[in-house]
Structure 1
Amino acid sequence: MRVSIMKEEVFYGKGMERVKKEDEGLYQAIVGLNEAVWNGKVLDYKTQKLIAIGIAASNADSRATERQIMSAKKELGVTRDEVVDVLKVVLLTSGMQPFNKALQIANKVFE
């Protein structure tokens, strides 16, 4: 599995590679959106990435949560403690099930 962050114009999955080959205009639009979102204009990129972890976890999306945590750890040095702080907010706002699911993923990533 290819793991990186969109900020550096590396996307998850094989689908974006195909989009890039078949529809350069659409691909460039996605890259432009990516740059507009992850610009660190007010919130620094690390904070934005922690928010992304919280959103993925709140949605109980295991795949997205794992990818967000992995890229945050690899690219930004995010610690397990920082992720757990985010997951505490998930617990408060989304409940025990998304919290537990994401915590298991975080434990796996930081083993």
Structure 2
Amino acid sequence: MSEKVFYGKGVRKIKKEDLELYESIVDLDKSIWNSNVLDYKTQKLIAIAISATNSEASSLLKQISKSKKELNISRDEMMDVLKVVLLTSGMISYNKSLDIINKLYD
């Protein structure tokens, strides 16, 4: 796993204003990503699927870019994730996510 990066502006503000709370968030993050059952790659694929279902394209772009770089997640693996997104969240989420994947993998 790489150095921790939180994308939300709110978390950066918490780090400046409430270091104790920020450290608790970091500890929670470490606990979640160090699962005893699922490997990190599987967890990241789940995170990508969840990001694909919300309306924040920049979050999905960051999730996919980082996962592609760090874990060498293939386009085929991403497309499998998108099939689940299509089934569970519909065509709008699928198309939005597909556009991002096409930009990153083509």
TM-score, normalised relative to structure 1? 0.85
Amino acid at match of 2:76: D
Whichever residue aligns with residue 43 of structure 2, its letter is Q
> Which residue number corresponds to residue 10 of structure 1?
5
Aligned to 1:10, the other structure's residue is in SS state coil
Q: Residue 11 of structure 1 aligns to a residue in which SS?
A: coil
**Separation (CA, whole Å) in 2 of partners of 1:41 and 1:109:** 31
| Number of residue pairs the alignment of both structures matches | 106
Query: Is structure 2 residue 62 aligned with structure 1 residue 67?
Result: yes
- Root mean square deviation of aligned Cα: 1.8
For structure 2, list consecutive stretches of 5 or more residues without a partner in the other structure. none
1:27 alignment partner in structure 2: 22
Which of 83, 95, 104 is equivalent to 2:78?
83
**Greater shift in the superposed pair: 80-89 or 61-70:** 61-70
Alignment of 1:39 with 2:34, yes or no, is yes
User: Does the alignment pair 1:104 with 2:92?
Assistant: no
Structure 1: gaps spanning 5 or more residues: none
| TM-score (ref. length: structure 2) | 0.89
